[in-house]
A and B are shown apart, each in its own frame.
Chain A
Amino acid sequence: MKIIDTANHIAALAAKMAKPSVVAAYPITPQTTIVERLAKYVENGELNAEYIRVESEHSAMAACIGAAATGVRTFTATSSHGLLLMHEMVHWAALSRLPIVMVNVNRAIGPGWNIWSDSNDSMGQRDTGWIQIYASSNQEVYDSIIQAYKIAENEDVMLPTMICYDGFILSHTSMPVYIPEQSKVDKFLPEFKSLWSLDVDKPITHGNIISPADYMDVRYSMNQAMKNAKKVIIDVGEEWGRKFGRSYNLIEEYKCDDADYVIVSTAAIASESKFAIDKLREKGKKAGLAKLRVFRPFPKEMLRYDKMIVIDRAVSLGLGGIVYNELKGNGDVYGFIAGLGGKDVNYRDIMRIYELAEKGKDGWYGIEVK
């Protein structure tokens, strides 16, 4: 079935079709319409779940942790300050190896208050042990949420997974999306599995005091799980392709084979970049695009090009863009910071960035380089 709707409503629909037993969420702009829609699904009986209308995002993630630890599938969604308030529990979920799935609608961090797109909220969570997938279209939002459960619940992974997309640019923009039948989703997504659970017949204590040596072992096992996730994400993306006609990988290459410069970008800027590549090609420039879909685990080995132009909507202050910093050493890398706090980045800006890189320039686009 093909429908036209906003990314937030598509996200709610995808979450519903993954059949979580417990949803715990707190409203925040621009995520709000996800949690409103899910509340409706639960109240009208379309989704058989307990919906916990928590009093904060810290509690939203804590409730998901409690529910997942008791042995059920969970879902939550947030943005920006919500994710930051949740940060302690974001770590806790990963260290507990609970396959929680969360949507983060990317939004700038205050002050001043800014509700527009910016990736610093989720990219600031990069070392928490969550898998992070960035979606560039509403179709990718749908597909990635269903896949996220299968990835997170894989026994070689067992790490929570975050689906991220731009506030408003996607969250409140309607696009056509193919929605598969529920029975096909059920077939794709097996029953919930977890590494451990709170069971009165097999009592365990989870998370008590741990020695330094054992703690380091725990961290190492997470490290290996994150590495395992690369293959699992590719396998799940291929399986999705076989079943639903759209394959997914860690990155998506577009006209990279003969490219002089390859633009590396994520989320909405990546889809705008695709258009810019065509325009640059019309002008005789051999431009290519490597869309970074999965930020954690980071596919550094796949992003090897002689000359790369990284456009970041997130910054490590004083050091440049976050993805740019990840890719240093993989070739000649030109880093551009653009679009913070929702500042518009259209294909003309991207074409200009390409030309600046050709001249050997990089930096804060529109401020340091124009």
Chain B
Amino acid sequence: MVAIKKFPEEEYILKGTAACPGCPITIALRTALKALGKKTILIVPASCSAVVQSLVPKTSFGVPTLNIAFAASASAASGVAAALKMLGKEDVTPVVWAGDGGTYDIGIQALSGAFERGENFIYVCYNNQMYSNTGIQRSGATPYGAWTTTTWTGKKEIQKELGEIVMAHHIPYIATASIAYIDDLYDKMKKAKEINGPRYIEILAPCPPGWRFDMSKTVEIARLAVQTGAWVLYEAINGEVKLTSYSKMLLKRKERRPIEDYLKLQGRFRNLTEEDINKIKKNIDEKWKRYMEIYKEKEEKQ
């Protein structure tokens, strides 16, 4: 793993983005582009990232960027990849940079189609667990109990496991990452760049106005998501799942912090009942039980 201070000095996110203060997108994209480098084409559907670029004729993105309609990013990226192949420019990596609304919900058909076809691009979902660009509405990634402007009394359903849906497509590389562990994020982007075929990376991206926390706490919240086990850092190379970074330590060396530490800092969870918290705990415990089983199987094999 590359130490943060050894990341390349080149910046592909230029000064003057239109991001909110404390926005996790710029942290994630800045890190991703340092790993991916100049030979990257971004495909961005309707999302906060379309706003972050700033207003025509200016841009804050230093690599070629194609904005595309909400449901169309994986299919547009398929077209970019096909054209690059025909032009003999396969050293250029097309990268979808989409939010969870554009990935879990409206874009899932194009995503599934492209992954099944084995298209040659990286799909990154920065997951802020809601439609943030339109003003905090629930998505398929919004966790149980969270307040949004379309779930005023808290979301009644548990979020879907997109990683597992993607896993069912048998693609060569799948990973999750966090803006609190950018060395891990950088490492995964680097690895993904060297692989051919569809690659999927999902980054948890806590949003201050959407999750109702102070803009100075973006990284802290992201870190707590991992330390409490609510967000798990893993990678799956050709279907073989391995936990990475801090999540790997939670398998053996460290205890998960109580989920309340994470929930209580976020206004969106203010109205959770004890019953709600237990439901969230149960969901996380079940998830970890599965990871523990995978881990133990591997231990026994070795």
| Residues of chain A having any CB pair with chain B under 8 Å | 21-22, 24, 48-50, 52-56, 58-60, 62-72, 74, 88-89, 92, 198-200, 202-211, 214
With a cutoff of 8 Å between Cβ atoms, the chain A residues found around residue B77 in the complex are 66
With a cutoff of 8 Å between Cβ atoms, the chain B residues found around residue A74 in the complex are 79
State how many angstroms separate the Cβ of A151 from the closest Cβ of chain B: 22
B79 interface neighbour in A49, A64, A202, Cβ under 8 Å = A64
With a cutoff of 8 Å between Cβ atoms, the chain B residues found around residue A24 in the complex are 75, 78-79, 82
With a cutoff of 8 Å between Cβ atoms, the chain A residues found around residue B226 in the complex are none
A62 touches B75 (CB 8 A): yes
How many chain B residues touch A (CB < 8 A): the figure is: 48
With a cutoff of 8 Å between Cβ atoms, the chain B residues found around residue A68 in the complex are 79, 83
B87 touches A70 (CB 8 A): yes
| Residues of chain B having any CB pair with chain A under 8 Å | 18, 38-41, 43, 50-51, 53-57, 59, 61-69, 71-72, 74-87, 92, 94, 109-110, 112-113, 116-117, 119
Alpha-carbon distance between A24 and B281 when the two chains are bound, in angstroms: 46
B69 interface neighbour in A60, A62, A202, A206, Cβ under 8 Å = A62
Alpha-carbon distance between A202 and B275 when the two chains are bound, in angstroms: 56
Alpha-carbon distance between A236 and B287 when the two chains are bound, in angstroms: 64
B83 interface neighbour in A21, A202, A207, Cβ under 8 Å = A21
With a cutoff of 8 Å between Cβ atoms, the chain A residues found around residue B41 in the complex are 70, 198, 200
19 extra interface residue pairs, beta carbon distance < 8 Å, beyond A59-B109, A65-B76, A198-B41: A21-B83, A22-B83, A52-B119, A55-B109, A56-B109, A58-B110, A59-B113, A66-B68, A66-B80, A66-B94, A69-B66, A71-B87, A89-B72, A200-B63, A203-B61, A207-B67, A208-B50, A208-B54, A214-B56
Alpha-carbon distance between A200 and B66 when the two chains are bound, in angstroms: 12
Alpha-carbon distance between A277 and B70 when the two chains are bound, in angstroms: 50
B79 touches A67 (CB 8 A): yes
A52 touches B79 (CB 8 A): yes
Alpha-carbon distance between A50 and B64 when the two chains are bound, in angstroms: 22
Alpha-carbon distance between A62 and B73 when the two chains are bound, in angstroms: 8
A52 touches B78 (CB 8 A): yes
With a cutoff of 8 Å between Cβ atoms, the chain A residues found around residue B67 in the complex are 205-208
B75 touches A58 (CB 8 A): yes
B56 touches A22 (CB 8 A): no
Closest 6 CB pairs of A and B: A66-B79, A55-B113, A59-B75, A207-B67, A70-B83, A63-B79
Known contacts A50-B86, A56-B109, A199-B64; A89/B69 CB under 8 A? yes
B54 touches A67 (CB 8 A): no
Most buried by A among B18, B51, B61, B65: B65
State how many angstroms separate the Cβ of B39 from the closest Cβ of chain A: 5
Known contacts A59-B113, A66-B77, A70-B80; A209/B66 CB under 8 A? no
Alpha-carbon distance between A21 and B89 when the two chains are bound, in angstroms: 14
With a cutoff of 8 Å between Cβ atoms, the chain B residues found around residue A48 in the complex are 86
With a cutoff of 8 Å between Cβ atoms, the chain A residues found around residue B87 in the complex are 21, 70-72
With a cutoff of 8 Å between Cβ atoms, the chain A residues found around residue B76 in the complex are 62-63, 65-66, 69
A-B contact pairs, 22 of them (CB 8 A): A21-B86, A22-B83, A24-B75, A48-B86, A50-B83, A58-B72, A59-B72, A59-B74, A62-B69, A63-B79, A64-B79, A65-B68, A66-B78, A67-B79, A69-B66, A206-B66, A207-B68, A208-B50, A208-B59, A209-B53, A211-B56, A214-B57
With a cutoff of 8 Å between Cβ atoms, the chain B residues found around residue A88 in the complex are 69, 71-72
Residue of A nearest to B57 (CB): A214
Known contacts A24-B78, A208-B54, A208-B55; A72/B86 CB under 8 A? yes
Alpha-carbon distance between A50 and B43 when the two chains are bound, in angstroms: 19
State how many angstroms separate the Cβ of A160 from the closest Cβ of chain B: 14
Alpha-carbon distance between A74 and B39 when the two chains are bound, in angstroms: 23
A208 touches B79 (CB 8 A): no
Most buried by B among A68, A71, A210, A214: A71
Known contacts A200-B92, A208-B59; A56/B113 CB under 8 A? yes
Most buried by B among A54, A71, A205: A205
With a cutoff of 8 Å between Cβ atoms, the chain A residues found around residue B40 in the complex are 200
Most buried by A among B18, B39, B41: B41
B86 interface neighbour in A22, A65, A211, Cβ under 8 Å = A22
Residue of A nearest to B39 (CB): A200
Known contacts A53-B117, A55-B112, A198-B41; A203/B63 CB under 8 A? yes
With a cutoff of 8 Å between Cβ atoms, the chain B residues found around residue A54 in the complex are 75, 78, 113
B62 touches A203 (CB 8 A): yes
With a cutoff of 8 Å between Cβ atoms, the chain B residues found around residue A66 in the complex are 43, 66, 68, 75-83, 94
A67 interface neighbour in B53, B80, B110, Cβ under 8 Å = B80
Alpha-carbon distance between A62 and B94 when the two chains are bound, in angstroms: 14
Alpha-carbon distance between A202 and B113 when the two chains are bound, in angstroms: 31
Residue of B nearest to A60 (CB): B75
Alpha-carbon distance between A211 and B84 when the two chains are bound, in angstroms: 32
A206 touches B65 (CB 8 A): yes
B56 touches A72 (CB 8 A): no
State how many angstroms separate the Cβ of B171 from the closest Cβ of chain A: 15
B82 interface neighbour in A22, A92, A208, Cβ under 8 Å = A22
Residue of A nearest to B52 (CB): A208
Alpha-carbon distance between A62 and B54 when the two chains are bound, in angstroms: 23
Residue of A nearest to B94 (CB): A66
State how many angstroms separate the Cβ of A208 from the closest Cβ of chain B: 4
